[in-house]
C-alpha cells in the first residue's frame, strides 16, 4: 500500500471510530437535559436518579468523543496537506467557527454541569446542560456544512494561479440545501442512536430488576424517541436521496448498482452474485421505487453508472470516475437495514408496554441488548457510503482524493501512526465498554437528595463531584 491508501485507511478508521461516540453524545445530552428539566419542574426524584445515571454514561462516552475529535482537527494538515492547501480558504472557516462557537460552549458548560451540582443554583445548573447540548448541535452543523461542501461545492471560484479554491460566499456554504439536509439527517440519526442507547440500557435495568420505577420511565422515553426520530431519519433520508441524485448522480447509481440509465427504475432490495455489471444477477426489487426515491416520480429517469462514466470522461478528462460499487451498494442497504431492525425492536417493546405493563418474552433481552448497537452500525455504514461513493473525488468535481495527500509524509510514517491510533483506540474501546457495563451493573443510585446551593458553593463541605 502506498501513502495514499494508508492515509485513506487512517482517515476511515479514526473518523468511523470518532463517529461512534458523536451521535450518542449529541442525542444523550438533550435527553439528559430533558430528564433534568422534568425533575426541575415536578420534583419527582426518579427523574433526578435518571439524570445522574444517564449523565454518568453520557460523560464516559463524551470523554472519548472529545479526545478522538482532536485527531480529526489535525489530520487534514498531517495526512492531507495538499487537500488543505487547495480548500483551506473555504474549508477552514467552518472548522474555525466550530471551535469558536461550539467547542468552547460545550466544554465550558459541560464542566460547569459536571462539577456544578454544589456550586451553581438549580436553575443555572440546569441551563448549563442545555447550553452544552446546544454546543454539540452547533458543532455538528459547522462540520457538516464543511462536509456538504465536499459533496457539493458552492460559493467559490477557482484561482488558477494559486491553484486553489477561494471563498466568494460564506452564506451559500453555510445554508446550501446539501448542508441543511445532511445536518437534519445526521441529527435525526443522533436522536435515534441515543434514544436506542437509553432504551436498551433501561431494558437491561428492568431485566435485572433495578429501579423499575425509573427504568420504566426511561425505557418508554427511549422507545418513543427512537420511533419518532426514525420517522425524521426517513423523511430527511428521502430528501437527501433526491439532492444526491441531482448533485452526485454517480453516487445514487452506485448505491443501486444501476449500470444503465433506466426510467421507472426498481429499488433493489437484495442481490445474489457479483455487482460488477458484467452479467445480470438475481435481484429482488420494488418496481419503480428507485425512480420515485431519486426523482419523486415513479417514471423518472435514473442515470446509470456506464453513462455517467462516459459523461465524466468528456467533462473531466480520461480517468475512472466509478466508485467501489459493491461497497456502495451494500453499505447503503446495511445503513437502512440496521436502522430498520432497531425500529422494529423499539416498536415491539413499546407495543407490549401499551397497557402499563413491562415488555417480556424470550426476545426481549437479546433484542434490547442489540438495540444500542444497531444505530451505531447504521451510522457507520451511512458514512462509509457517503464518503466512499464520492470517490475518486475529495471535493466533487474539484479535487481528487489522490491529489490531496501530503507529499512530504512517507508511507512508513502513515503506517506507523495508523497502527498506533488503531491500537490506542481499540484499548480505549475495551476500557469504555467495561466502564459502561459496570455502570449498568451498579444501576441507578438508591437514594439521592438535593439542596439548592449558593453560587460558588461552600469552602468546607464535601464535594459532590471530584476527579
Looking only at residues 110 through 149 of this chain, which bind another protein when binding is defined by CB under 8 A? 110-112, 114-120
DSSP letters for 103-164? IHHHHHHHHHHHH-TTTS-HHHHHHHHHHHHHHHHHHHHHHHHHHHHHHS--SEEEETTTTE
The residues in 48-87 that bind another protein, with binding defined as CB under 8 A, are 52, 56, 59-60, 63-64, 66-71, 73-74, 76-79, 81-82, 84-85, 87
Q: Which is nearer to another protein, 142 or 192 (CB)?
A: 142
d(CA 288, CA 268): 10
Return the residue of 42, 209, 356, 449 that touches another protein, per CB under 8 A.
Answer: 449
**In this structure, are residues 116 and 463 in contact, taking their beta carbons and an 8 Å threshold?**
no
By the rule CB under 8 A, 366 interacts with another protein = no
By the rule CB under 8 A, 158 interacts with another protein = no
Give me the sign of the Cα torsion angle 335, 340, 341, 347. positive
Listed residue (34, 63, 64) closest to 51, CA to CA: 34
The residues in 389-428 that bind another protein, with binding defined as CB under 8 A, are 406-409, 413, 417, 420-421, 424, 428
The residues in 262-291 that bind another protein, with binding defined as CB under 8 A, are none
CB of 4: closest distance to another protein in angstroms?
Answer: 14
By the rule CB under 8 A, 450 interacts with another protein = yes
By the rule CB under 8 A, 160 interacts with another protein = no
d(CA 77, CA 55): 35
Return the residue of 4, 95, 334, 415 that touches another protein, per CB under 8 A.
Answer: 95
Return the residue of 138, 170, 281, 415 that touches another protein, per CB under 8 A.
Answer: 170
Q: Which residues pair with 262 in a beta bridge?
A: 302
Write the DSSP symbol of residue 250.
Answer: H
By the rule CB under 8 A, 2 interacts with another protein = no
d(CA 131, CA 107): 10
By the rule CB under 8 A, 246 interacts with another protein = no
By the rule CB under 8 A, 99 interacts with another protein = yes
By the rule CB under 8 A, 167 interacts with another protein = yes
Stretch that binds another protein, among 105-113, 190-198, 250-258, 262-270 (CB under 8 A): 105-113
Q: Which is nearer to another protein, 2 or 260 (CB)?
A: 2
DSSP letters for 400-428? EGGGTS-SSS-HHHHHHHHHHHHHHHHHH
d(CA 205, CA 441): 8
**In this structure, are residues 331 and 381 in contact, taking their beta carbons and an 8 Å threshold?**
yes
Burial 135-157 (b: 16+ CB within 10 A, else e): bbbbbbbbbbbbbbbbbbbbbbe
Stretch that binds another protein, among 30-38, 95-103, 316-324, 370-378 (CB under 8 A): 95-103
Q: Which is nearer to another protein, 167 or 335 (CB)?
A: 167
Return the residue of 35, 57, 90, 150 that touches another protein, per CB under 8 A.
Answer: 90
By the rule CB under 8 A, 88 interacts with another protein = yes
CB of 318: closest distance to another protein in angstroms?
Answer: 21
CB of 33: closest distance to another protein in angstroms?
Answer: 17
By the rule CB under 8 A, 108 interacts with another protein = yes
Listed residue (59, 62, 71) closest to 16, CA to CA: 71
CB of 162: closest distance to another protein in angstroms?
Answer: 9
d(CA 436, CA 428): 12
By the rule CB under 8 A, 446 interacts with another protein = yes
The residues in 173-192 that bind another protein, with binding defined as CB under 8 A, are none
CB of 365: closest distance to another protein in angstroms?
Answer: 23
Q: Which is nearer to another protein, 105 or 308 (CB)?
A: 105
CB of 154: closest distance to another protein in angstroms?
Answer: 15
CB of 404: closest distance to another protein in angstroms?
Answer: 10
**In this structure, are residues 378 and 334 in contact, taking their beta carbons and an 8 Å threshold?**
yes
**In this structure, are residues 46 and 213 in contact, taking their beta carbons and an 8 Å threshold?**
yes
**In this structure, are residues 11 and 2 in contact, taking their beta carbons and an 8 Å threshold?**
no
By the rule CB under 8 A, 93 interacts with another protein = yes
For residue 429, give Cα distances in angstroms to 200, 262, 404, 434.
19, 45, 30, 8
CB of 47: closest distance to another protein in angstroms?
Answer: 14
DSSP letters for 379-394? HHHHHHHHHHTTTTEE
**In this structure, are residues 206 and 215 in contact, taking their beta carbons and an 8 Å threshold?**
yes
Q: Which is nearer to another protein, 269 or 465 (CB)?
A: 465
Q: Which is nearer to another protein, 4 or 289 (CB)?
A: 4
Return the residue of 1, 100, 286, 430 that touches another protein, per CB under 8 A.
Answer: 100
Write the DSSP symbol of residue 279.
Answer: S
CB of 273: closest distance to another protein in angstroms?
Answer: 43
By the rule CB under 8 A, 44 interacts with another protein = no
CB of 20: closest distance to another protein in angstroms?
Answer: 15
Amino acid at each position: 500500500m502506498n501513502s495514499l491508501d494508508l492515509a485513506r485507511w487512517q482517515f476511515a478508521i479514526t473518523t468511523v471510530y470518532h463517529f461512534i461516540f458523536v451521535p450518542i453524545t449529541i442525542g444523550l445530552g438533550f435527553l439528559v437535559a430533558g430528564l433534568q428539566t422534568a425533575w426541575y419542574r415536578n420534583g419527582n426524584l426518579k427523574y433526578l436518579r435518571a439524570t445522574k445515571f444517564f449523565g454518568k454514561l453520557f460523560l464516559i462516552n463524551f470523554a472519548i468523543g472529545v479526545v478522538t475529535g482532536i485527531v480529526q482537527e489535525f489530520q487534514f494538515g498531517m495526512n492531507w496537506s495538499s487537500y488543505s492547501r487547495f480548500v483551506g480558504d473555504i474549508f477552514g472557516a467552518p472548522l474555525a467557527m466550530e471551535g469558536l462557537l461550539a467547542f468552547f460552549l460545550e466544554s465550558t458548560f459541560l464542566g460547569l454541569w459536571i462539577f456544578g451540582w454544589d456550586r451553581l443554583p438549580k436553575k443555572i445548573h440546569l441551563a448549563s446542560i442545555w447550553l452544552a447540548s446546544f454546543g454539540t448541535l452547533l458543532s455538528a452543523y459547522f462540520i457538516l456544512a464543511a462536509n456538504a461542501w465536499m459533496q457539493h461545492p458552492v460559493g467559490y471560484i477557482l484561482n488558477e494561479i494559486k491553484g486553489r479554491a477561494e471563498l466568494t460566499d460564506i452564506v451559500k456554504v453555510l445554508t446550501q440545501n446539501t448542508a441543511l439536509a445532511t445536518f437534519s439527517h445526521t441529527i435525526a440519526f443522533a436522536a435515534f442512536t441515543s434514544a436506542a442507547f437509553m432504551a436498551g440500557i433501561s431494558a437491561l435495568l428492568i431485566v435485572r430488576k433495578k429501579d423499575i420505577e425509573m427504568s420504566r420511565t426511561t425505557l418508554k422515553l427511549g422507545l418513543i424517541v427512537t420511533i419518532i426520530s426514525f420517522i425524521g431519519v426517513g423523511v430527511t433520508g428521502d430528501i437527501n436521496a433526491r439532492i444526491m441524485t441531482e448533485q452526485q448522480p454517480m453516487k445514487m447509481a452506485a448505491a443501486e448498482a444501476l449500470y444503465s440509465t433506466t426510467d421507472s427504475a426498481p429499488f433493489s432490495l437484495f442481490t445474489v452474485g457479483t455487482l460488477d455489471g458484467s452479467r445480470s444477477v438475481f435481484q429482488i426489487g420494488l418496481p419503480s421505487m428507485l425512480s420515485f426515491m431519486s426523482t419523486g416520480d415513479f417514471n423518472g429517469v435514473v442515470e446509470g453508472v456506464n453513462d455517467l462514466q462516459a459523461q465524466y470522461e468528456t467533462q473531466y478528462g480520461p480517468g475512472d470516475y466509478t466508485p467501489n460499487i459493491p461497497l456502495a451498494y451494500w453499505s447503503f442497504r446495511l445503513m437502512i437495514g440496521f436502522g430498520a431492525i432497531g425500529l422494529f425492536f423499539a416498536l415491539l417493546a413499546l407495543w407490549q408496554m401499551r397497557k402499563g405493563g413491562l415488555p417480556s418474552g424470550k426476545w426481549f433481552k437479546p433484542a434490547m441488548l442489540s438495540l444500542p448497537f444497531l444505530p451505531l452500525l447504521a451510522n457507520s455504514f451511512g458514512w462509509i457510503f457517503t464518503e466512499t461513493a464520492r470517490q475518486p473525488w475529495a471535493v466533487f468535481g474539484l479535487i481528487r482524493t489522490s491529489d490531496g495527500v501530503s507529499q512530504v509524509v512517507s508511507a512508513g510514517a502513515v503506517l506507523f501512526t495508523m497502527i498506533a491510533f488503531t491500537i490506542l483506540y481499540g484499548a480505549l474501546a475495551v476500557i469504555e465498554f467495561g466502564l459502561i457495563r459496570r455502570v449498568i451493573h451498579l444501576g441507578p443510585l438508591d437514594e439521592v437528595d438535593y439542596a439548592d446551593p449558593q453560587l460558588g458553593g461552600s469552602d468546607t463541605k464535601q464535594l459532590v463531584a471530584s476527579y
